[in-house]
Structure 1
Amino acid sequence: MTLSETQPATGTAGDVVLEARDLTKHFPVRRHLRAAFSGPRLAVHAVDDVTLTLRRGRVTALVGESGSGKSTVARLLAQLYPRTGGDILLHGGSTTVRRGRRFRAYSGQVQMIFQDPFASLNPVHTVRYHLTRALKIHQRAGRSSAELEEALRDLLRRVQLTPPERYVDKFPHELSGGQRQRVAIARALAADPEALLADEPVSMLDVSIRLGVLNLLRDLKERMHLAILYITHDIASARYFADDTQVMYAGRIVEGGDSESVTQNPAHPYTRLLIASAPDPDRIEGGEGGDPDRAGEDAGEPANLIHPPSGCRFHPRCPHAMDICRAELPPRFDVSPPGHWAACWLYGTEEGVRA
């Protein structure tokens, strides 16, 4: 099925909007001309065999440390990067777009919110320009000036920038970081999308205003039945904001399930490492309140993605690594409760279960 044959969804909450199947992206490594004609061609294995589903009215968090491939997944889903392998399905139909009319139709249904709102907004143009241009590109043609003006003000009200008259003629540098991100969200909403890909949307904002932006996205999800991919390195915010959480390490998803299960009963050693490294005022390092079982789990360096480790990519840093971890890539194993899984041999071998 091509994009032009895919019909807009009119389903209910929980319907699948966007799906990635075995999504893969390898970036070729540029080498010196003399070396380019000898030896194998090298590539960064940024994303390998990623499968995830975005459903209407739900937030899926993709969590992992910097360099794990989270933002690359978002750009692949937005089709800003060509994929090396795998498939992207919009409403069940396989889609591959580059530029032109078909890309515009796709981006009208799948919009991306970037990490840095100051970089994603043109500094020489006003809020009016950014939002009006988005409305003209994605909405019906032939609107009168009065209709465009009302639609622009409605967008600002949706993202709680009120009264609209205060913000509509301001430049990005005249706004705070939180206000700029709200304008970026309003611009994405101008397309009337069904899926939002939010790439660390609050990491560049002051701590005091992050919660307000997350609450705004949650409110939009509920009112507009949006499917949202929330990319973050902060697993605590994933528990607060997301319905489902997928944990990514070195280009692969290693654990997934509902957010409460993943964050409160982590199954994969890497997920435990993420949780243990999160700030916790109740845990005093080296003293009462610490967790001795997690000592040493932060040892080691992230995997080399040009020459990724064999087997499980986390095994060089894992305190529970077994011989099979070094030799074979683990499949997904179900853990409790239903729907919670981990790609870890601890749940697939007798030795692992005993450990």
Structure 2
Amino acid sequence: MSEVVLAAAGLTKHFPVRRRARDLLAGRRRSVHAVDDVDLELRRGRVTAMVGESGSGKSTVARLLAQLYGRTAGTVRLHGKPMTVRSGRRFRAYCGRVQLVFQDPFASLNPAHTVRYHLTRALRLHGRAGSAAAELLERVQLAPPERFLDKFPHELSGGQRQRVAIARALAAGPEVLLADEPVSMLDVSIRLGVLNLLRDLKDRLNLAILYITHDIASARYFADEVLVMYAGRVVEGGDGETVTQHAAHPYTRLLIASAPDPDTIAGRPAAAPAEPAGGEPPSLIDPPAGCRFHPRCPHVMSVCRERVPPRLDVGDRAGHWAACWLYRGDT
């Protein structure tokens, strides 16, 4: 296995909610349980995808790893050393090794400044002023760079803006790239090009990449490992092919069943549909006890309502696990 660059254990984030009068009278403090007890490892030269529907906590995990949010609990380790930095030189040094690419490139780039300004400022901040902004543009396949250096963000297409945002992240010389839904704001026709660019950068620069997405099909195409999140918890994990082709957790099966099926579109017989799951995702202010998927799960058992399931190995596929009581030996 390749070297672990960035790891998290027990990562937890609860956002306090403004207290109402009745909460004050009752002495209650309410919070949104955005992320609970997440473990992950990002390895050099590998892509880990975190998949889940909107509101499942994926982007919060990325911001916790980038140290943009303080943690409620848990640890983040860079090369095995615990890291808790929010400002100053240590924070800048951490950002030089762990960079975040945001979902919306138009919002993450300053509309008042040119591409040259964004890149040269990033190079200067991270002590790499001797490097050329033009080289960064060539690295993200914006060539010839002279066509783009003096343009403003509004003069670029969505795909070009995202490539500039990736180039700015590379200006720090990072070891870890946290890509928060980097293609969801782009036209379908250009998403594949950006994913191929990230894969090429991973191979050439030996980066560890966290790819956050709600599209499990792109995770299968792009990622070496897939983690599935539901309501703030990771419910399944394993290599990309295994999780997407042999899903174990009922929620993962539901995600896969909700994706468009090319066989159905082409008129061929479709695969057997997943068992239906009713209801909606739970409130994260007052999440259900036990497994958070149990109110919607077609296989719910009494233990699901009472205890949080641990990671349980699935079948004989090495490294494939699911946080589901269905895979407990005595059930």
Report the TM range for the smaller structure's normalisation: over 0.9
In structure 1, C-alpha distance between the alignment counterparts of 2:292 and 2:261, rounded to whole Å: 27
TM-score (norm 1): 0.90
| Partner residue in 1 for 2:279 | 300
> For 1:187, what is the secondary structure of its paired residue?
helix
CA–CA separation in structure 2 for the residues paired with 1:96 and 1:162 = 39
Equivalent pair of 2:275/2:298 in contact (CA under 8 Å): no
**Runs of at least 5 residues in structure 1 that lack an aligned partner in the other structure:** 1-12
Does residue 82 of the first structure (1) align with residue 70 of the second (2)?
A: yes
How far off is 1:350 after superposition? 3.3
TM-score normalised to structure 2 length: 0.96
1:105 corresponds in structure 2 to 93
Separation in structure 2 between the aligned mates of residue 332 and residue 317 of structure 1, nearest angstrom: 20
Deviation at 1:139? 2.2
The counterpart of 1:326, out of the listed 276, 284, 305, is 305
Of residues 162, 176, 191 in structure 2, which corresponds to 1:181?
Answer: 162
Deviation at 1:14, TM superposition (A): 1.1
Q: Choose from 325, 328, 331 the match for 1:345.
A: 325
- Does the 8 A contact of 2:261 with 2:270 survive in 1? no
**Percent identity over paired residues:** 73
Q: Distance in 1 between matches of 2:140 and 2:262?
A: 33
Cα deviation for residue 39 of structure 1 reads: 3.3
Once residues 289 and 38 of structure 1 are traced to their aligned partners in structure 2, the CA distance between those partners, rounded to angstroms, is 57
SS in structure 1 of the partner of residue 209 of structure 2? strand
Q: Does 1:279 align with 2:260?
A: yes
Q: Which moved more, 1:273-282 or 1:25-34?
A: 25-34
Deviation at 1:323, TM superposition (A): 0.7
Shift of 1:288: 7.9
Pick aligned residue for 1:91 from 74, 79, 100: 79
Instruction: Report the 3-state secondary structure (helix = DSSP H, G, I; strand = E; otherwise coil) of the residue aligned with 2:106.
Output: helix
- Which letter does structure 2 place at the counterpart of 1:153? A
Aligned length: 329
Instruction: Tell me how far 1:267 sits from its aligned partner.
Output: 0.5
Aligned residue runs from structure 1 range 235-250, under 5 A: 235-250=216-231
TM-aligned CA deviation for residue 37 of structure 1: 4.5
Task: Report the Cα distance in structure 1 between the residues aligned to 2:236 and 2:275, rounded to whole angstroms.
Answer: 21
Match of 1:196 among 177, 200, 207: 177
Secondary structure of the residue that 1:283 maps to in structure 2?
helix
The yes-or-no answer on 1:119 pairing with 2:107 is yes
Quick one: distance in 1 between partners of 2:252 and 2:152? 41
Alignment match, 2:38: 50
Runs of 4+ in 1 over 4 A off after TM superposition: 290-293
Root-mean-square deviation over aligned CA pairs: 1.5
Q: Distance in 2 between matches of 1:82 and 1:129?
A: 30
Worse overlay, 329-338 or 32-41:
32-41
Question: Partners in 1 of 2:286 and 2:225 — Cα distance?
Answer: 31
